[in-house]
Amino acid sequence: MEWTDTGRIIAVRNYGETSAIVELLTPEHGRHPGLVRGGRSKAMRPILQPGNAVRAVWRARLDEHLGNYALEAESLDAGALMDDPLALSGLNAACAMAVLALPEREAHPAVHGAFEVLVSSLNDIDIWPALYIRWEAGLLADLGYGMDLKKCAATGQTHDLKYVSPRTGRAVGAEAGAEYADRLLALPGFMAGSGEVSPGDIAAGLKLTAHFIERRVLWPTDKVLPEARARMIERLESAGRL
């Protein structure tokens, strides 16, 4: 068995004394692991960093085997972010979420494409936190658990959407939800179609996506949100970006 694809490294763990098991997020083969022989060498260490883009050739005797990767660097984005701890925390959070939530060897090209957009925007703090939240929302949708944020679940109106039902994931208008505001999740304006990120929107968006990722994706398999995501939120809060 053999295939060639491009991808982003999303996880690396040591294997034996000289090798590493690397997980890639690829457009055609999804989240896919493989063994990189000599992956712990000085030459390979700068390449085998989460967030870097590579061209991969995967080979195995059978499709279900771990297989071996031959990797060639395409873009060393992780190294470029080393001097920006906030952006690096966003990259690490996205990688950790992809490893945790995506099924192995199942193609999700839309998730991969949005991941590429997110990584390319990590040098702009005014943009990437909202893109990160949209990526998590897209991840939910691609796994079959998307939220319906286009119209009010109670009235059908498409304007003045302010809340989300924590049970159904459907939007609720400001007037219809006023009586139940303490039981509903806040819907950030940029997710409701305004395009603008207002104070408090990033915190609300992260709480919103976390709610549904936990309940619909992670908890059924006894998983919890990764520490990397919590560290990202802490750094965003310290920088006054929530």
Torsion, CA 167, CA 153, CA 141, CA 122, rounded to 10: -100
Whether the Cβ atoms of residue 176 and residue 199 lie closer than 8 Å to each other:
no
Q: Which residues of 114-139 are buried (b: 16+ CB within 10 A; e: fewer)?
A: bbeebbebbeeeeebbbbbbbbbbbb
What stretches of the chain adopt beta strand conformation (E)? 2-15, 19-26, 30-36, 53-59, 68-75, 161-164, 171-173, 185-186
Share of the chain above pLDDT 70, in %: 100
Closest CA to 95 of 1, 165, 12, 212: 12
Q: What is the pTM of this model?
A: 0.95
In whole angstroms, give the CA distance from residue 71 to residue 39.
10
Q: Count Cβ atoms below 10 Å from residue 103 Cβ, excluding itself.
A: 10
CB 25 within 8 A of CB 91: no
Per-residue pLDDT band at 170 (split at 50, 70, 90): very high
Could you report the per-residue pLDDT of 201-231, keeping only the tens digit for each?
Answer: 999 999 999 999 999 999 999 999 999 999 9
CA distances from 81 to 11, 17, 87, 91, 122 (A): 17, 28, 7, 9, 8
pLDDT, tens digit, 9 for 90 and up, residues 48-101: 999 999 999 999 999 889 999 999 999 999 999 999 999 999 999 999 999 999
> What is the amino acid identity at position 41?
S
